[in-house]
């Protein structure tokens, strides 16, 4: 518990997490408000439509998670941390836990905020959470954000430089996964195993009104299986990062 408290203090003592959280909320909920205000009979507002921009908020939170690690390497404070806990694994796990829990909380605020602003702007729209799929679409966002933060922390531990970590996360989440899908023949087969496609499948499966490229019919797992696969990959990267951090110099 002491390590968790220390990591919480370190995280909230800098401005970058506050800016990242505020930016993620403003961008995502703001775009949800713009979309809700411009829906009509041809493009009606629904629960999945209100959640269409959560990935933008997730990218910002992943940057925040990476900064939680790379900032310590940049200013050398990680050496003091490792001197206090020579095994290195415990403080890094504590940092990952704090960042993941915070990311999950922000994800829930973003998801329910986007849903709530839609109901406020268009009170007559069908925005009720009547099915398990609709609840998963909204409430499941926190889980996706949490594991995305775990992956971002792992990348930060591995590369240790802010610019490199942020570049890797942005290129992969916003560019690489989509580019792989356009490769003839093998692209779609590879894409169905990528973590972004599986996290999206977890959130959107069963919501027939959701419109996405490729859909989720060809995914190898059901929604909860996709979440388990997504979580396993993120945690796997963290395990690799912890092994590397334990073996190399700080």
In the chain, domain spans: 2-247
Spatial distance between the Cα atoms of 207 and 51, rounded to a whole number of angstroms: 11
DSSP state of 209: T
Q: Residue 70: which H helix or E strand, with range? A: helix 54-75
Spatial distance between the Cα atoms of 152 and 249, rounded to a whole number of angstroms: 21
Would you write out the chain's pLDDT as a tens digit for each of its 250 residues? Answer: 688 888 888 888 889 999 999 999 999 999 999 999 998 888 889 999 999 999 999 999 999 999 999 999 988 888 888 888 888 899 999 999 999 999 999 999 999 999 999 999 998 888 889 899 999 999 999 999 999 999 999 999 999 999 999 999 999 998 898 888 888 888 888 988 999 999 999 999 887 554 444 445 578 889 999 999 999 999 999 999 999 998 887 6
Q: In Å, how far are 78, 83, 87, 206 from 248, measured between CA atoms?
A: 13, 14, 12, 46
Question: Can you tell me whether residue 249 is helix, strand or coil?
Answer: coil
Selection from 194, 179, 170 nearest residue 62 by Cα:
170
Which pLDDT does position 237 carry in this prediction? Answer: 96
Selection from 178, 176, 190, 183 nearest residue 218 by Cα:
190
Residue 71 and residue 153 in contact, taking contact as beta carbons nearer than 8 Å: no
- Put simply, whether the predicted model's pTM sits higher than 0.85 gets the answer yes
- Is 165 buried (19+), middle (13-18) or exposed (0-12) by CB count in 10 A? buried
Which pLDDT does position 60 carry in this prediction? Answer: 96
- Is 15 buried (19+), middle (13-18) or exposed (0-12) by CB count in 10 A? exposed
Cα torsion angle, 27, 109, 212, 225, sign: positive
Selection from 92, 98, 86 nearest residue 72 by Cα:
92
């Amino acid at each position: 518990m002491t390590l968790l408290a220390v990591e919480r203090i370190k995280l909230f003592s800098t401005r970058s997490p506050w800016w990242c959280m505020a930016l993620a909320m403003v961008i995502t909920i703001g775009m949800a408000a713009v979309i809700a205000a411009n829906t009509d009979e041809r493009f009606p507002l629904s629960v999945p439509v209100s959640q269409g921009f959560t990935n933008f908020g997730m990218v910002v939170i992943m940057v925040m998670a990476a900064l939680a690690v790379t900032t310590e390497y940049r200013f050398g404070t990680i050496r003091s941390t490792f001197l206090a806990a020579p095994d290195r694994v415990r403080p890094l796990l504590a940092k990952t836990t704090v960042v993941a829990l915070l990311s999950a909380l922000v994800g829930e605020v973003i998801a329910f905020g986007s849903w709530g602003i839609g109901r406020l702007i268009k009170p007559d729209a069908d925005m009720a959470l009547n099915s398990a799929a609709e609840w998963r679409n909204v409430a499941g966002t926190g889980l996706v954000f949490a594991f995305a933060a775990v992956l971002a922390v792992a990348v930060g531990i591995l590369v240790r430089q802010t610019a490199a970590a942020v570049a890797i996360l942005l290129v992969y989440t916003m560019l690489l996964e989509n580019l792989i899908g356009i490769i003839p023949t093998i692209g779609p087969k590879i894409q169905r195993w990528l973590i972004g496609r599986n996290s999206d499948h977890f959130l959107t499966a069963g919501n027939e009104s959701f419109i996405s490229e490729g859909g989720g019919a060809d995914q190898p797992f059901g929604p909860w299986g996709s979440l388990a696969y997504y979580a396993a990959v993120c945690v796997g990267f963290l395990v690799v990062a912890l092994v590397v951090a334990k073996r190399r110099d700080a």
